[in-house]
Structure 1
Amino acid sequence: MTSIIDVGALASLLQDAAIQEIRPRFRKLGAGDIRAKSEPTDLVTEADEAAERHLRRAIALLAPDALFVGEESVAADPAILHGLADAELAVVVDPIDGTFNFASGIPAFGVMASVVWKGETVAGIIYDPMGDDWVIAEKGSGAYLRRPDGEATRLAAADPAPIETMVGMASTGYFYGEVRERVLGNLAKVRFVASYRCAAHEYRTFSGGHVHFAMYNRLMPWDHLAGTLIAQEAGGHVARFDGSAYLPHHVDGGLLVATDEDSWQMLRREILGV
């Protein structure tokens, strides 16, 4: 489908924010430029806030009727998030996904944006400031890696594989208690599991066919709307842990991304134990 917003223009805005506000601050943050939010590993930096201000101003010109939902804006005013379910048009932004990596000087972070139209994600963009390229999807049109010179490569999820040979991504930090113990133990059934501490790069890796699954328990729209649409357009199967569809207003219920529905069901059974 053709998005209600010019997705190419939106992609360029993510690049502009990175060039002006993010890359110049990488490995140059002072002690006062980094702060903890909900816990010591949940960080915000001067770059996050400056990039979001830049994007909010630019998106207001590109799509003046859209509700702007940014991670840092919601941190300041949680009521913004509640408006997402009823907004006819919204743009959801993560100015720096992988802030812990960015603040640590690790070049694995991304800028993400998604377009939500009448309660459905219709476009998703993940920009890599260090690699200077985008992974982009519009609903029903496939997922593509796009480079600044205009070259575009269609993305496809990996072929299904037996669980013992699967390679995947699992963010286990927001599992707790007995569930955490069960999930961590069951992940020993796969060949290899990792976490980049950056959903942007994990979704890029999945959609490029390099891993067989990704799993998350904490759902915030700026972390997952763009990536799940891209994963689906690359041929993957995405659902919450109970099998229901993941929608823009969901903030709980877990999320499992797999190469196909049969693999999804197997991972749910063998890893989640449900």
Structure 2
Amino acid sequence: MTVELDIASLANALQEAAAVEILPRFRNLGEGDVRIKTEAIDLVTEADEAAERLIRDRVAEFMPDALFVGEESVAADPSLLTRLGKVDLAVVVDPIDGTFNFAAGLPLFGVMLSVVSKGETVAGLIYDPMGNDWVIAEKGSGAWMCSADGSQSQMSVVPAPELSQMVGIANTGYFEGDVRRRLLNNLADVRLFTSYRCAAHEYRIFCGGHMHFLMYNKLMPWDHLAGTLISQEAGAYAARLDGSPYLPHHVDGGLLLAANEETWELLREKIFTV
């Protein structure tokens, strides 16, 4: 099956959802517009749900045969997630990545979409509503920053310096007990690590050459499929923490991205051995 993608229409759908459903609610959420999903740091807002409905409707217009897998749709019907690796074509959407930031009034959130064909990610888009720009990749075509003025520039990760000078993202919140303590202790050997609570912007920064590694433990497809493909198209090496490839149906096993395989191996050996 050859997938012919209308990237412009996909990008427009994300932009429309932001303009119509997300930005009007930013710093304007009512008391009942924010709800806890699984814990106090896992939130959903009226903007998430409304934006996902709009994107789903737009995708149905030009990709009617695609399975739509949205973060909020899966919350309502978990069986959608089990079908992702089996169908011919799927569109995976995070309507607001960084909901915690969005609900707190922090302008650090994004809209993410990926296209999966026969168990392989073939396209990824990350839209920044505040900057009105996208990072986009189709498999085999490189990673591109598409600015609001229509200009495009190719993105590339940067080679890492020595371990003691590396800067990156390390999301340790979903590791348990002694593993988490060991990782936090190991991370003292890099120059700086942080988490923006927004994978959309973490991937954008990495692909733009401003960080040297990304590490995650919890792997939900809407959080990582688009960013991983874009990173690989920007030259990065990505794999789960056991060294196996990261695939759309994976929801655990951790994920580590670095500028190249040599740096990836160094980071896993010195920092991220779990």
Give TM class, smaller chain.
over 0.9
The equivalent of 1:80 in structure 2 is 80
The equivalent of 1:26 in structure 2 is 26
User: By how many angstroms is 1:198 displaced?
Assistant: 0.2
User: Are residue 202 (structure 1) and residue 202 (structure 2) matched?
Assistant: yes
Instruction: Report if the CA contact (8 A) 2:131-2:148 is conserved.
Output: no
User: By how many angstroms is 1:148 displaced?
Assistant: 2.8
CA-based RMSD: 0.9
Find the residue that maps to 1:32 and give its secondary structure: coil
The equivalent of 1:70 in structure 2 is 70
User: By how many angstroms is 1:7 displaced?
Assistant: 1.1
Find the residue that maps to 2:127 and give its secondary structure: strand
Instruction: Report if the CA contact (8 A) 1:218-1:252 is conserved.
Output: yes
Structure 2: where are the runs of 5+ without partners? Answer: none
User: By how many angstroms is 1:149 displaced?
Assistant: 2.4
User: Are residue 145 (structure 1) and residue 145 (structure 2) matched?
Assistant: yes
The equivalent of 2:61 in structure 1 is 61
* 1:131-167 per-position Cα deviation (integer Å, ceiling 9, x unaligned): 1000000001000000132200100001121110000
Using the alignment, how far apart are the partners of 1:197 and 1:94 within structure 2?
14
The equivalent of 1:116 in structure 2 is 116
User: Are residue 161 (structure 1) and residue 161 (structure 2) matched?
Assistant: yes
User: By how many angstroms is 1:85 displaced?
Assistant: 1.1
Find the residue that maps to 1:60 and give its secondary structure: helix
Instruction: Report if the CA contact (8 A) 2:48-2:96 is conserved.
Output: yes
Find the residue that maps to 1:256 and give its secondary structure: strand
User: Are residue 212 (structure 1) and residue 220 (structure 2) matched?
Assistant: no
User: By how many angstroms is 1:4 displaced?
Assistant: 2.5
Instruction: Report if the CA contact (8 A) 2:143-2:234 is conserved.
Output: yes
Find the residue that maps to 2:229 and give its secondary structure: helix
User: By how many angstroms is 1:88 displaced?
Assistant: 0.3
Find the residue that maps to 1:134 and give its secondary structure: strand
User: By how many angstroms is 1:182 displaced?
Assistant: 0.6
Using the alignment, how far apart are the partners of 1:13 and 1:273 within structure 2?
40
For residues 175-254 of structure 1, the aligned pairs below 5 Å read 175-254=175-254
Instruction: Report if the CA contact (8 A) 1:237-1:259 is conserved.
Output: yes
The equivalent of 1:107 in structure 2 is 107
Instruction: Tell me the TM-score normalized by structure 1.
Output: 0.98
Amino acid of the residue matched to residue 98 of structure 1?
G
Using the alignment, how far apart are the partners of 2:14 and 2:249 within structure 1?
23
User: By how many angstroms is 1:194 displaced?
Assistant: 1.0
Using the alignment, how far apart are the partners of 1:67 and 1:170 within structure 2?
31
Amino acid of the residue matched to residue 196 of structure 1?
Y
Question: Comparing 3-12 with 75-84, which one deviates more in the overlay?
Answer: 3-12
Find the residue that maps to 1:31 and give its secondary structure: coil
User: By how many angstroms is 1:112 displaced?
Assistant: 0.2
Using the alignment, how far apart are the partners of 2:54 and 2:129 within structure 1?
15
Find the residue that maps to 2:235 and give its secondary structure: coil
Instruction: Report if the CA contact (8 A) 1:127-1:135 is conserved.
Output: yes
Amino acid of the residue matched to residue 28 of structure 2?
K
Count of matched residue positions in the alignment of Structure 1 and Structure 2: 273
Instruction: Report if the CA contact (8 A) 1:220-1:251 is conserved.
Output: yes
Instruction: Report if the CA contact (8 A) 2:241-2:273 is conserved.
Output: no
Find the residue that maps to 2:9 and give its secondary structure: helix
Structure 1: where are the runs of 5+ without partners? Answer: none
User: By how many angstroms is 1:3 displaced?
Assistant: 5.0
Using the alignment, how far apart are the partners of 2:248 and 2:4 within structure 1?
17
Instruction: Report if the CA contact (8 A) 1:3-1:138 is conserved.
Output: no
